[in-house]
Structure 1
Amino acid sequence: MLIAIPLLIIPVVLYNILVLTEGATQADALLNDPLFSVTMTSGAQWGVSWGDLILFVGLILLFFELIKSTSSQRVAIVNHALSMVLFIAVLIEFLLLRGFATSTFFLIVVMILLDVLAGFIVTIIASRKDFDLGN
């Protein structure tokens, strides 16, 4: 049943921990200030922040969520429902809480929305194919 839990809850939890432990203003600084930098072959410095790392983790998990959405198991329906609940929760956080009105969190919200849409679209297409084959 653990497979039904949306993986995108991980970046949401990381972001929540960061904002709720540091406060809204300090969390904004932590999300944007470079954690470390990498010197590129061009000589430019690429600064990587906590926000970048959270988005990176989110994108990797979105890939796995999209793969999970192609499953036709019954647990996939539970996963779609939990993804919708997660989307509603993060949308409320984004709209109503001060520390969550950032570009980083907005992109997390968009990733979760894409997961919800992909899950429902894949399920509808798969059920339509099953219905067509039944005739």
Structure 2
Amino acid sequence: MEVWQLTPWEELDMGLRLLIAAIIGGVIGFEREHADKPAGLRTLLLVCVGSALFTIASLYGFGDKADAARVAAGIVAGIGFLGAGTIIRLEGGVVGITTAATIWAVAAIGLAVGAGLYLVGIVTSVLVLIALRLPVPPHHVK
């Protein structure tokens, strides 16, 4: 298997991608933890960094034999299982949908940052934080 030969600058860029993913995942995770939600700082930081790392590895780790789109699809499928595990059906309703959606969005942010789309990842993280701070509709409060 052939691996791309990377310059020190490219390796530094990859490290920066992982660091940005960790910061974004940590900030969103801190907000969720502060709101006393099940997926908090550690979970969302790990989801974001893991997604970024899978993306980086798919882009640079396998030479010409990798299909980055398949790796992205695998991330989405895997995160779907993780998110589904946070949804609980209770008498009178379902809880955890926002947590599942947050995990999904954070994985997408990690994927974008891992691909080098820093601005897209940062803007999306701001939009996610805004969405998470919106008031909960009264009919959702129990």
Q: TM-score, normalised by structure 2?
A: 0.34
Larger radius of gyration: 1
